[in-house]
Structure 1
């Protein structure tokens, strides 16, 4: 067993803002729902570095400093869709409660990083552009070929930093493609807008408009 896998120190409390704290504990469906790994495994680490030019060297250097995040390339093994934390939480709720689930997901600085199938970063923006509810989706940052992202460390430290919400624990994780992410985005946008309409029952029309406008910007 690799030395970093022996560290059973529980994750430290989250010290970020309220949105980050909410994102850190999701998704956790109740009952007998699927288990989501929050700790990366050796297989998961090997999968993450497999898109590097020199995977073995990259992994060795990372294992020498397991509490440090790693910067890894996108485009060949995975793409990343980077969304605001609150919207990301709702996306995961939809994906796990009504859809096929998600691939690995990380949280950092009030954002959530959804690991998706290669090519998603190219197709998703154009799909949203054609979608009726595309304007209700907050701006997404899509990282693909030629980009790199910071991923959580092998062993979580005590300070702030990126962390896994759904950690990679296999060498071949299932990754959602652009169609699945689009479906979840539209579901969240429609639900958010419908909720704003139900809440906006104030006799003050200007207040109603403010509530609706804020909901569409989330």
Structure 2
């Protein structure tokens, strides 16, 4: 517990619900105490946000973008490919959540403004759904700090520090391009397999990019 929280009017242990010993109930990634403080810092009244979470730890919350983080909102299958590249070949990711069939990648402030232009410059094309970028003036719904199950909003990579590393627009551009290449390569393999001529042993590779 930090000093500034002890000095506020919070006589209860605000993080008691994050230390539930019954870990078998929590199959999704769980937010730590430091991660909760980081999320609360995106609000105008952090202590009030923490108090609401203490009262309703299984409820999602709405947080503003632009000051503490931006959010890149992608189709989940493509988002998984992006995460694969970020963790297998790149620097990793910041916090990542799933909400209403979309994947939310938390990014450095300013990413929402710059990433669309970078994608246009790369001729990203229509191979995959275009990411939605949330920045200054936008808000996103984040999963509960203490999820009850994995059927609703949940964290895939939960916040666990007061200052988590967040990818910027260049890193996410790289991940998007790498994931798009994976999609293109998969299309080529499917096309080759589907158009094989067993008599002439000729394959249609017209879709190769």
Partner of 1:10, secondary structure, is helix
Q: How far off is 1:196 after superposition?
A: 1.4
How high is the TM-score relative to the length of structure 1? 0.78
**Partner of residue 16, structure 1:** none
Q: How far off is 1:197 after superposition?
A: 1.4
- 2:143 counterpart (131, 142, 152): 152
Q: How far off is 1:11 after superposition?
A: 4.3
**Partner of residue 140, structure 1:** 131
**Partner of residue 68, structure 1:** 59
**Partner of residue 203, structure 1:** 195
How high is the TM-score relative to the length of structure 2? 0.82
Distance 1:203 1:3, change over 3 A: closer
- 2:110 counterpart (108, 114, 119): 119
Indicate yes or no: 2:182 matched with 1:191: yes
- When structure 1 is superposed on structure 2, of 132-141 and 120-129 the one drifting more is 132-141
Indicate yes or no: 2:86 matched with 1:95: yes
- When structure 1 is superposed on structure 2, of 155-164 and 136-145 the one drifting more is 155-164
**Partner of residue 31, structure 2:** 40
**Partner of residue 129, structure 1:** 120
Stretches of structure 1 lacking an aligned partner (at least 5 in a row): 14-23, 25-37
Indicate yes or no: 2:16 matched with 1:3: yes
Q: How far off is 1:194 after superposition?
A: 2.0
Please say which structure displays the higher CA radius of gyration.
2
**Runs of 4+ with deviation above 6 angstroms:** none
Residues 26 and 146, structure 2, Cα contact 8 Å, conserved in 1: no
Q: In 1, distance between residues paired with 2:94 and 2:25?
A: 21
- 1:180 counterpart (171, 181, 198): 171
**Partner of residue 34, structure 1:** none
Aligned residues: 188
Q: In 2, distance between residues paired with 1:159 and 1:90?
A: 20
